Structure 1
Amino acid sequence: MTSVDFLPWMRLGLAAGIGQGAPTGPVATVRPSIDVLADGVVRDTVPGPEVRLRGPGDVIALDPRQIRRRDPAAGSTGAETNYFCAVEFFAPDLPWRYTPTPVDADGHLAPWLVLVVVETGPEAGAQVRTGQARLPVLSVDTPARQLPDLADSWAWAHVQVTTQVDGDVAGTYARDPDAFSARLVCPRRLEPGARYTACLVPAFESGRLAGLGLDAPASLEPAWGTRAVDLPVYDSWEFVAGDAFDFASLARLIRPAQLPAGVGLRDLDLTDPGPGLPAVRSAVTFAGALHAPSGRLTYWSDPTDEKAFEDAVRTRVTATPAAGDEGGSGYDPLIDDPVVAPPVYGAPQVGTRALPDSTTRPGWFEDLNVSPQHRAVAGIGTQVVRMDQESLVAAAWDQARVAVEVNRTLNRGRLAQESARQAQAKWDRLDDAAAVCIGAPALNRIRVGASTAAALVAGGDAPTAYFGAAFRRLGRPGGPLSTRATVPAAQSPATAIVRAAFESATAGPGRQQQSPLSTGYRARSLPPGMDVGVRLPGQVSAPAAGPLRRSAAPSGGAAPSGGAAPATPIEYSGGLLDLHLPPYQSPFVRAVDYGRTPTTGPGQGQLGVDLAAAVAGAVRPADAVAAAVRGAVTMPAGVWTPAGIPTRVQLRPRFTDPMYERVRALSVDYLVPGAATVPDNSVGLLEANPAYVEAVLVGLNHELSRELRWREYPAALGQTWFQRFWDSTDPDGVDIPPIRDWGLDAALGRTAGGGTRPGLVVLIRAQLIRRFPDVRVYAVPARWQGATRVPDENAQPLGPSFVGTLVRGTNFYGFMQLTEQAARGDDGGAGWFFVLEEEPHATRFGLERGLPRDRGENPASWTDLSWFNLAEARGEAPWFCTIDTVDRIETARLDGLRWGRDAAVMAAITLRRPIQIFLHASAMLPDAGGTHA
């Protein structure tokens, strides 16, 4: 099974029957037949009439949507000269769909259209004209120089299949038609710098005439010979060939090199360090972000100079305002000159300017602020912020917009919650009847056990209209009932009716409740013969009297038995009805259960639910506001409390761009001093310097904290704004953890938990990078094959941790998992290879350009076949690759593939695979003793 298979041709539909028992010639005809099946077995075959198929003379245009890909792309100005020009189609049978001829005895089938590439220009003798025919017209004066031999057209058209075929082409196509595509190739040699036009043109004379709008008699003659010719153009595009160097030729120029020891290192001049600091002559090395493994880092050749210098720096950076007051009367900022001390890098993140005592074991905070080589690096970070301060602050404010909206939502929520708490106090003072009446709109959202409060009301004896909006409007203060009912001013008539029902249900035996609505109403009788009342249950137990939610336990009174109790009228005058409510037996008793168990008995209800308590407990405005805000704002876990709303969120802008690019913008020598001394067309290894990365990021974060404070940015200024220095291949990767988590005892360069040895970085400075900047670089372990190291083909490749560019043509690739010892093989292994590989693109075909000394020589494999291999012993490379050009060299069955067998084999032979270069680390590193090998 292979990832890509090639087929020499493909025909679908009736065209698949051309040449199978039917006459052939200038016009293709087929005689289809129908199989008669019985129980899945062919019992008979019924021949059909002879059908004439359309041929090349019937084609007058080509839909451009059929074209899947053009190579090189239209408008390209640097097309590689070792590749053939090609065009792909979505329909896998399109190149042979209108071919009138059958497959010949060798399995070859010529396409009805071909791809030609002509050089255009004043002296080229070829040009494309428009406006004189239905299609653009390609006029060629010398076909032998510009056009391929049509006798070989079958060799340069094939089908590509990107799935497993296993011999069943028809079944595979039926299952996965998208895996099939057709391709036409023009086997022309391109000259560097020349301008070309690629054209799709007919291969038969009948197609040529039809495309030109002329009479097209049926003919199998080729579209051109040796004379000048006009060809209709179905599709065309232009491109310019690049220089003569392709990936393979440029890759062969690269050599592994042990980089100069001074790459990445510079000596600091401390003979005049500034006021208040002693002049010293000890050598101190400034190490860049990357440096040569063989370089020597010198830190204070004289310990006396080191102590004197660092003590002076400590005194300067910890200076206080009072130190500027010579009179000793205290520092007055309005009178005295300010004392501006040098920055204590990292102080906003650590939370103090006080440096540890010099007698203690130094950590990163002290080392960064008193050692000149590290203070210089942190100062580079501050320069980056000063250079980009406007854009950085603008980006911080852009990120703050979301936080500002969140804080606005939180503030509104807290205001609404405070107002809700005031309403909650009034709600808590309501009795049961008023609470149920006011909370009625929420009954269907209040869970009571496995049901809802609304379901309990609907299942009780109380009319559900008591809980409806219409009833509340009727009994609202100032409404129709309010003008007639005698109720307290603080109550609504609707609440009074509900309370009357509650009170009647809780009255003791022998007591009668008078409705508050009865007083003050003028009695009105129903018309004769009409009586409207409430149908009551048979016998209902009632709880003890008193406030319903405050009753500790039911008492023993029971309602009379034996049917409905005598009705004592509770009257109101609302027009045409009298309402009769019996004492002790309220219709709410069934809907509102004040008992605590689901059993019935003296003083117990039947539902086992305190509806009023459920409503009062569920309707809590403050909690509802908190829930609404919680649904609108996503917070980290643990921030929300059940009813609380956070006061505000802190603004935490993050800058995820790799900061090495900003340091490089200041100067490449700030990043890798001496990078210009690296030889051209060389590959070498550098070591990463984590102390540099941490120092420059501390300087960046320190200076941005100061800048945001100056701009009054609303954020905690001790945050770590920058955590990425390299352009990591992990989109979520960071180079340092938050600075506040480092710990003051950690050593600079080890705060991020790195290993004891720095990782390796591949540095490439070459023409290959300038021409192909997307080259792939990775590492593979080596294994011993006798006394030779070879790549371990069974091992998993290792990709880079980060990638970057110093200048055009100089790239670096970080492998932080590999140390110098492991890459060289000092641990007893075979070490590691670093691989440079051409970036895989879409399937492409071509020949190597080769050298004149290759004329007439046999290539080692088809992969090495070059244009000069096709030349005569003293001749020039041919313009076109033809089938007979290889006959003169002994390559008939090279690599198991016979040249000219069919189009599929020609595609496999000319297929260009990505170039790989393997370079062992030992060739780019000094030996284990520290000297160059």
Structure 2
Amino acid sequence: MSIDIANYQFHSWSRKGISSRIAETDDLGTGTATQIERAQVPVGIVLNGAAQSKNFLLIGPGDILGVNSNMIVRTDPLNNITNYEPNYLAFIEFYDEDFAWRYTPAAPNGSKLRPWLFLLVLKNGEYKVEKNQVPLPAITVTSQTVFPPADESWLWAHMHSNANIPQADLTDYEKWLLSLNQALTADPDQVYCRLMSPRKLEANTAYTAFLVPAFETGRLAGLLQDTSTTPAQKPSWSNNGANGVLPVYYQWQFTTGQDEDFESLVNLLQPKPMDPSVGIRDMDCSQPGFVTADPPHNGLPGTQPPILGLEGALKSPTAVSTVFPNPPASNDFQVQLQKIANLPVTIIGTTTSGDPVISVPIYGSNHAMQSATDVVTLDITQSNWVNDLNRDPRTRVPAGFGTTIVQNNQAYFMKKAWQQVANIVKANKLINATVFMMQVAVQFTVQTLQKLPQQTLLGIASPVLSRVLGSPATILQLIRGSSTPVPVFSGAFRRLVRPRGRFVRKLTTGAGLNYAGLVNGLNAGTLRPGAVSVLPTGLPNTQTIAGQLGGPPEPAWLQWLTAHRLIWLIVLLVLCLILALLTGLWWLFGLIALAGIALYIYLGQRQSAITAATNLDNPQAELNSLPSIPPQPNFTLKLSNETAPPPPTLTTPTTDSVEAANFRTALTDVDTRMAIAVPVLSTVPVDFAGAYTKVTTAINPFTAYPLRLIGLIKFPGYISLLEPYKIFPAMAYPDFEDPMYKYLNAISQELLLPNIKLVPPNTISLLQTNPKFIESYMVGLNHEMGRTLLWNEYPTDERGSYFRQFWDVKGLVEPSTTQTEAQLTEAYKDITPIDTWNIASLLGTHNNRNPGSNSPLAVLLIRGELLKRYPNTIIFAQKAIAGPKGQPPVINLSLSDADFAKQVKFPQYKADCSPDIKFFGFDLTIDQARGTAPSPDFPGDTLGWFFVIQEVPGEPRFGMDVTHVTDSAGLSWADLSWEDFASPDAMTFITAGVKPILNYPNANYWGADSADMAFILFRKPSMVAVHATEMLQSLPSI
């Protein structure tokens, strides 16, 4: 069965540009063409009303001296591959879709056009490399039968399109060219061309593929020979062989493997139910071999029954487990086993001797401890995982396997453990140093810091004030917003004002001065940080100059009179006019009016001086008044004692002099800066009591040191160093990610799957997991590893779950998830941490991948050459759906993303047994796979599941199947095989004239053109889907 995985279209040829106007049609190698050396393109124009024409010669094969390897995008097979399937054809692909026909010196002959290149595939003994050939390497073909028919080269080049071009456009070639151009514009990578070799390859044979010129002019040009008299369309070889030495544009080598491909190997696989004996074998328990605890200390009695079925990690779904014990009370083996297993506890409880007691181990006893004082013993009358494991030989033996594996590989495991513990050792050094410093800090805090005044402690803790939050800002920011200067908390200031310091002793008022009182005074505002700066005597300042301009202060009445001088002047003039009219004393009132006008002018000048004085001490007011000052054409600057007249300057009555303009600009800049108001800080006293509480809490050694340690060392989430304020050494355990089934397998494959020899070759079948065996084995591994770590002085409490990975999970398809890598690693573990197992839980119920699910899960077994040859084969399970009416269930080949997530399950784990057996575990029970129990996502559905083996979809490949289909019903070109020809062994090439003998549909496609041949020889990836019921024995009828 095969499926469509892509939308490919093949076309016989492709051309762009002026080559599509070549006049002479391709004679397809018959020799009827007459054009010499190069193709011609007629070009006609109308010049001055007269028609003119001329033939232009185009570049052809005779002008080509090499091919840029960047043009080549792929070869099949790859260079130097050693196991290429001989049923496929070799080919080479070029990026430009018209490259294979770009220099062909002919126009298409219908749907046929020969490429200017040819791919020649030769065995190592069929050619000889020419020496000293320039500009191209060259070969001489020693066997003339290796050339395909020269008149069929057009059959082996085609254009490949991944673009979804509507089929309606393909009925008109011009429309197709237009749609092709649109596809190229959107994505040029969707279209390229391919050149194939028609040679039938032989198995286990070395080949070299040569890219050579297909036309004689190209052959001669590659050898630097004259081409001027050579027919343009003459091929470089005839049906009798090459015309001579062949130049080589490109070459690569490969070797074929066995005459097998994916489809032939997958067809060999036969679904079969597994023999019930697979997964279980007899174990003689009649003489266990250990002495009893009771005199006369004979060997332990045998089990009843004496022959038990020892199961493996996998077993047949129809395997039947041995019933044991039967019954427990009468089984003397378990009674004596309990006594001997508990003997160390019994003896230690009745003696003061420090000598150890050697007895059979109680596997998992350290992990089952609920507290450090617990003593775990074996109680055969109680059912829990510890007793289930240790009282039954069928589970003690797997635990013993784990013990043996740790003992045999302890050097390797300890090396990896010490590599992991290197960080633990570093962490413990840091922890011990932290504990020491914390204890020193505790004593310093109790004996010194807690006795200091609040302000003094804040000064000592000044380096951390910027990192301690007050409410809501830091303590340092709160101090900055207060009237207390930050420097008073510095070490330098504290040393300066220490009570017995030299500075304080020299102060006349130093008596009673203390640091805390000084800080409190600054904070309350009763003390100021320092005196206001005083201008040195004799230096001019704006206040003095303003006083000189404004004069002494004026009385209030004069200020009022100055402010309203215009009003009273008008009133005075009106009164003088009226009195003069009434009295006739014009001279008197005229003098009074003149005196009033003089007073008005004086007061105006006085007001201007006061305003100037005020503005001089107010930069913003002065800046605002500058535009109102008229131009000063005669303004000059001179020294106060300068007597010589200043030099003349060129001025105009309406502009400032040069010095005036400079002075005005400078004054504007100064006033702009001086007008910036100094912000007024609103200060808030510091709450020293609250700040003291915050700081003492932050520097508390029991808090500060653990928090700092947490920043340096990553502790597990369940460890809190702040409660109960203790720091303790790290006791982390190593984590081995090795799939531990491999160590079991290395001892014997029979331990993993007893009676594995009963699995027939080329078999596909279903097994089921054995959770009890797996958990017993993993407990044995971890139990012995804890003892080994303790013996080697590794920091451990012997309760770590060092091994939790039984199956191999590397290289599996990961589900779409947002989990981190660490979370995925944890999710793929096979068992939960053993120290977290509920003491009342039963053995076989601790699956980490499927918590809460205790049922054995389905495992797909494949035995054959398929996965050895194709290790990257895609394997998955897919939900069966109802087939056509009256037909068996099928699978849906066109799934949406949502359906794909529900209906497809990829393996969760895998394993293998050399040389040819592979196992793939799925999140499905046997009943769910069969269809006798519904799957969680499909309630009520009982159609079961298919298990699918699919070839990896990749780039297109071309060839034929190895063997033909025996059933001719529904025959298609996809089923074409080399055996469908009359004499397949005698075939050297595929030719248009030799057709398959079977009656394939559309038989006229064969040899019609290169696109049809590409369609016929295209091989789709193979897939086989097998329903679980085909690999399981039928359920008995009820």
- Normalised by the shorter chain, which TM-score bucket? 0.7 to 0.9
2:838 to 735, 740, 743: 743
Q: CA 1:671/1:858 → structure 2, altered by over 3 Å: closer, same or farther?
A: closer
Q: Does 1:297 align with 2:294?
A: no
The equivalent of 1:343 in structure 2 is 361
2:365 corresponds to which letter in structure 1? A
Deviation at 1:2, TM superposition (A): 7.1
The equivalent of 1:878 in structure 2 is 987
Separation in structure 2 between the aligned mates of residue 96 and residue 443 of structure 1, nearest angstrom = 81
Deviation at 1:60, TM superposition (A): 2.2
2:308 to 277, 284, 287: 284
Separation in structure 1 between the aligned mates of residue 53 and residue 436 of structure 2, nearest angstrom = 87
Separation in structure 1 between the aligned mates of residue 969 and residue 890 of structure 2, nearest angstrom = 28
The equivalent of 2:157 in structure 1 is 157
1:503 to 521, 539, 556: 521
2:155 corresponds to which letter in structure 1? A
Q: Does 1:653 align with 2:658?
A: no
Q: CA 1:612/1:670 → structure 2, altered by over 3 Å: closer, same or farther?
A: closer
Residue-by-residue CA offset, 1:799-857 (whole Å, 9 max, x unaligned): 33322212211122223413247516587834433333333343211112346999xx9
Q: CA 1:380/1:636 → structure 2, altered by over 3 Å: closer, same or farther?
A: closer
Q: Does 1:309 align with 2:333?
A: yes
Separation in structure 1 between the aligned mates of residue 53 and residue 401 of structure 2, nearest angstrom = 86
Deviation at 1:349, TM superposition (A): 0.8
Q: Does 1:247 align with 2:342?
A: no
Separation in structure 2 between the aligned mates of residue 102 and residue 146 of structure 1, nearest angstrom = 28
The equivalent of 2:808 in structure 1 is 727
Separation in structure 1 between the aligned mates of residue 116 and residue 65 of structure 2, nearest angstrom = 13
2:253 to 238, 241, 253: 238
2:738 corresponds to which letter in structure 1? D
Deviation at 1:427, TM superposition (A): 6.3
Deviation at 1:33, TM superposition (A): 13
The equivalent of 1:393 in structure 2 is 414
CA contact (8 A) 2:157 2:194 kept: yes
Residue-by-residue CA offset, 1:268-293 (whole Å, 9 max, x unaligned): 11222113311356232111111222
Residue-by-residue CA offset, 1:137-196 (whole Å, 9 max, x unaligned): 2221334x2233343333333344445445632233223233444332212211112221
Relative CO higher for 1 or 2, CA cutoff 8 Å, sep ≥ 6?
2
Q: CA 1:400/1:304 → structure 2, altered by over 3 Å: closer, same or farther?
A: closer
Separation in structure 2 between the aligned mates of residue 710 and residue 885 of structure 1, nearest angstrom = 78
The equivalent of 1:789 in structure 2 is 888
CA contact (8 A) 1:294 1:930 kept: no
Pairwise mapping of residues 773-812 of structure 1 onto structure 2 (< 5 A)? 773-782=871-880, 783-793=882-892, 796-812=903-919
Q: CA 1:868/1:424 → structure 2, altered by over 3 Å: closer, same or farther?
A: same
The equivalent of 1:19 in structure 2 is 20
Query: Could you say what secondary structure the match of 1:791 adopts?
Result: coil
Deviation at 1:692, TM superposition (A): 0.8
Deviation at 1:708, TM superposition (A): 0.7
Deviates more, 1:270-279 or 1:377-386: 270-279
2:990 corresponds to which letter in structure 1? C
Pairwise mapping of residues 180-219 of structure 1 onto structure 2 (< 5 A)? 180-217=191-228, 219=232
Separation in structure 2 between the aligned mates of residue 141 and residue 100 of structure 1, nearest angstrom = 29
The equivalent of 1:685 in structure 2 is 766
Deviation at 1:347, TM superposition (A): 0.8
Query: Could you say what secondary structure the match of 2:993 adopts?
Result: helix
**Aligned-pair identity (%):** 30
2:1033 corresponds to which letter in structure 1? P
2:377 corresponds to which letter in structure 1? L
The equivalent of 1:846 in structure 2 is 959
Deviation at 1:713, TM superposition (A): 1.0
Separation in structure 2 between the aligned mates of residue 89 and residue 645 of structure 1, nearest angstrom = 71
Separation in structure 2 between the aligned mates of residue 251 and residue 280 of structure 1, nearest angstrom = 46
RMSD, aligned α-carbons: 4.6
Q: CA 1:76/1:324 → structure 2, altered by over 3 Å: closer, same or farther?
A: same
The equivalent of 2:390 in structure 1 is 369
CA contact (8 A) 2:277 2:755 kept: yes
Separation in structure 2 between the aligned mates of residue 593 and residue 611 of structure 1, nearest angstrom = 14
Separation in structure 2 between the aligned mates of residue 440 and residue 638 of structure 1, nearest angstrom = 35
Residue-by-residue CA offset, 1:593-615 (whole Å, 9 max, x unaligned): 2178xxxxxxxxxxxx9997699
The equivalent of 1:583 in structure 2 is none
Separation in structure 1 between the aligned mates of residue 89 and residue 747 of structure 2, nearest angstrom = 44
CA contact (8 A) 2:13 2:157 kept: no
Separation in structure 2 between the aligned mates of residue 505 and residue 684 of structure 1, nearest angstrom = 87
Q: CA 1:893/1:625 → structure 2, altered by over 3 Å: closer, same or farther?
A: same
The equivalent of 2:799 in structure 1 is 718
Query: Could you say what secondary structure the match of 1:693 adopts?
Result: helix
Deviation at 1:531, TM superposition (A): 12
Q: CA 1:33/1:635 → structure 2, altered by over 3 Å: closer, same or farther?
A: farther
Separation in structure 1 between the aligned mates of residue 23 and residue 998 of structure 2, nearest angstrom = 41
The equivalent of 2:1028 in structure 1 is 921
CA contact (8 A) 1:456 1:591 kept: no
CA contact (8 A) 2:220 2:226 kept: yes
Q: CA 1:620/1:590 → structure 2, altered by over 3 Å: closer, same or farther?
A: farther
The equivalent of 1:571 in structure 2 is none
Pairwise mapping of residues 575-586 of structure 1 onto structure 2 (< 5 A)? none
CA contact (8 A) 2:971 2:1001 kept: no
Separation in structure 2 between the aligned mates of residue 467 and residue 161 of structure 1, nearest angstrom = 82
The equivalent of 2:626 in structure 1 is none
What stretches of structure 1 of length at least 5 have no aligned partner? 35-46, 518-524, 533-586, 597-608
Deviates more, 1:307-316 or 1:433-442: 433-442
Deviation at 1:725, TM superposition (A): 1.2
CA contact (8 A) 1:129 1:138 kept: yes
CA contact (8 A) 1:288 1:673 kept: yes
The equivalent of 2:942 in structure 1 is 829
Q: Does 1:64 align with 2:69?
A: yes
Deviation at 1:246, TM superposition (A): 2.5
CA contact (8 A) 1:82 1:846 kept: yes
The equivalent of 1:113 in structure 2 is 117
2:233 to 220, 224, 246: 220
The equivalent of 1:581 in structure 2 is none
Residue-by-residue CA offset, 1:49-91 (whole Å, 9 max, x unaligned): 9986543333323333443333222222221111111223344
The equivalent of 1:866 in structure 2 is 977
CA contact (8 A) 1:78 1:240 kept: yes
1:60 corresponds to which letter in structure 2? L
Q: CA 1:214/1:754 → structure 2, altered by over 3 Å: closer, same or farther?
A: farther
CA contact (8 A) 1:759 1:820 kept: no
Residue-by-residue CA offset, 1:375-429 (whole Å, 9 max, x unaligned): 1111111111112211111111112223333444444555555566677676676
CA contact (8 A) 1:117 1:198 kept: yes
TM-score by length of 1: 0.76
Q: CA 1:595/1:412 → structure 2, altered by over 3 Å: closer, same or farther?
A: closer
Q: CA 1:476/1:617 → structure 2, altered by over 3 Å: closer, same or farther?
A: closer
TM-score by length of 2: 0.69
The equivalent of 1:758 in structure 2 is 856
CA contact (8 A) 2:303 2:331 kept: no
Separation in structure 1 between the aligned mates of residue 539 and residue 502 of structure 2, nearest angstrom = 23
What stretches of structure 2 of length at least 5 have no aligned partner? 26-34, 46-51, 167-175, 293-299, 542-677, 815-824, 894-898, 935-940
2:118 corresponds to which letter in structure 1? V
Q: CA 1:453/1:98 → structure 2, altered by over 3 Å: closer, same or farther?
A: farther
2:83 to 63, 78, 81: 78
Pairwise mapping of residues 566-605 of structure 1 onto structure 2 (< 5 A)? 592-594=683-685
Q: CA 1:80/1:73 → structure 2, altered by over 3 Å: closer, same or farther?
A: same
Q: CA 1:356/1:907 → structure 2, altered by over 3 Å: closer, same or farther?
A: same
Larger Rg: 2
CA contact (8 A) 1:761 1:816 kept: no
Q: Paired residues, what number?
A: 814
2:233 corresponds to which letter in structure 1? L
